[in-house]
């Protein structure tokens, strides 16, 4: 009795997920936003340490704070769009979305605290 040798069945492989450009852009923009925020805080600390009028540098640091907010808003939108794409990796999109959302809500919380303290 001769039996035919059949090759063993290969295990099915999961489809490879393609890179997510929107997720990568979201993550990079959120890192830029956080970098600008850190720059703003260190810059303001240096200005306050000098105890003098520094309208020019304060304006530049305020603009960097606002640009960080703009980067976070765009990063949030790109992160949401990156999470909605099918058959794409979603890790960087989720990370960018979380970092951007924490930036936005943290900034709003700091503004609210500042407004409450200013009324006192």
* Spatial CA neighbour of 114 closest among 37, 34, 106, 100: 106
Average pLDDT score over residue span 47-69: 75
Per residue in 2-56, pLDDT tens?
667 777 777 777 778 888 999 999 999 999 999 998 888 887 777 777 755 666 7
Average pLDDT score over residue span 105-118: 85
Domain extent for 84: 21-119
- pLDDT value, residue 9: 75
Alpha helices in 4-54 (DSSP H): 21-50
Residue 93 lies in a domain: yes
What is the tally of structural domains in the chain? 1
Residue 2 lies in a domain: no
Count of C-beta atoms within a 10 Å radius of residue 22: 20
Rg (CA), the chain: 24
Distance between CA 113 and CA 93 in Å, rounded?
Answer: 30
Residue 78 lies in a domain: yes
Per residue in 78-92, pLDDT tens?
999 999 999 899 999
Residue 12 lies in a domain: no
Backbone dihedral angles phi then psi of residue 2, each to the nearest 5 degrees: -105, 125
Residue 69 lies in a domain: yes
């Amino acid at each position: 009795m001769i039996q035919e040798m059949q090759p063993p069945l290969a295990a099915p492989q999961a489809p490879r997920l393609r890179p997510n450009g929107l997720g990568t852009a979201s993550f990079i923009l959120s890192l830029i936003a956080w970098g600008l925020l850190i720059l703003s805080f260190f810059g303001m600390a240096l200005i306050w340490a000098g105890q003098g009028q520094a309208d020019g540098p304060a304006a530049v640091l305020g603009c960097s704070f606002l640009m960080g907010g703009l980067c976070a808003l765009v990063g949030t939108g790109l992160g949401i769009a990156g999470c909605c794409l099918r058959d794409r990796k979603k890790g960087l999109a989720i990370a960018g979305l979380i970092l951007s959302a924490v930036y936005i809500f943290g900034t709003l919380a700091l503004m609210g605290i500042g407004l409450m303290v200013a009324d006192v």
